[in-house]
């Protein structure tokens, strides 16, 4: 059962360290449907894509920001469950050099699942000719056999649990 925690005027739902939540509002797609060979073939680790319907990106897990690209297009989290995650916003968006991205955290910050990390201007991403799909990649596993059992492809809301 989830609890609510007041943070100023905002309420942040608390999740277990084993929970993975959607970083955005949008539609989950399997890795095989991502328009990039590296992500589609899961070369960096288990991957899932979400076609975003807006640009507010939150942390999918409880953990620590271990990497934050200066361009704002990607960030890494070491989850409290011992697994590492890369959240990559769009395809080839590093070439935008930060245009359209605004970060709200710094490397080393502790974050909660559902906490805002980045705002991205999706219209700017599209204007630059890039795909807006957001990927969650499990880059480091606490146990060799760790695999997230994601929910089936569907429409999801930001900060709602997407693992079974």
Q: What is the pLDDT of residues 76-134, one digit of tens each?
A: 999 999 999 999 999 999 999 999 999 999 999 999 999 999 999 999 999 999 999 99
Catalytic residue among 48, 55, 88, 103: 88
Task: Establish whether 73 is a catalytic residue.
Answer: no
- Region of residue 148 (phi > 0: left; psi between -120 and 50: alpha; otherwise: beta): beta
Q: What is the mean pLDDT of the chain?
A: 92
Question: CA dist 161 to 40, 62, 100, 148, Å?
Answer: 22, 12, 27, 12
Tell me which residue of 45, 53, 49, 54 sits closest to 36, measured CA to CA: 49
Supply the pLDDT for residue 12: 64
Domains of the chain, CATH where assigned:
17-156 (2.70.70.10)
- pTM across the whole model: 0.89
- Higher pLDDT pick, 2 / 21: 21
């Amino acid at each position: 059962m989830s609890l609510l925690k007041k943070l100023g005027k905002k309420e942040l739902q608390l999740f277990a360290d084993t929970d993975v939540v959607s970083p955005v509002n949008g539609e989950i797609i399997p890795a095989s449907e991502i328009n990039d060979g590296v992500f589609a073939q899961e070369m960096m680790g288990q991957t899932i894509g979400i076609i975003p319907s807006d640009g507010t990106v939150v942390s999918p897990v409880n953990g620590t920001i271990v990497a934050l690209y200066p361009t704002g297009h990607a960030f890494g989290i070491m989850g409290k469950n011992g697994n590492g995650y890369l959240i990559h916003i769009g395809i080839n968006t590093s070439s935008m050099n930060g245009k359209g991205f605004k970060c709200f955290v710094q490397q080393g910050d502790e974050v909660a699942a559902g906490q805002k990390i980045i705002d991205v201007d999706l219209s700017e991403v599209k204007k630059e000719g890039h795909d807006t799909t957001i990927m969650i990649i499990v880059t480091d596993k606490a146990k060799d056999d760790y695999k997230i059992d994601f929910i089936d492809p569907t429409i999801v809301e930001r900060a709602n649990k997407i693992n079974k």
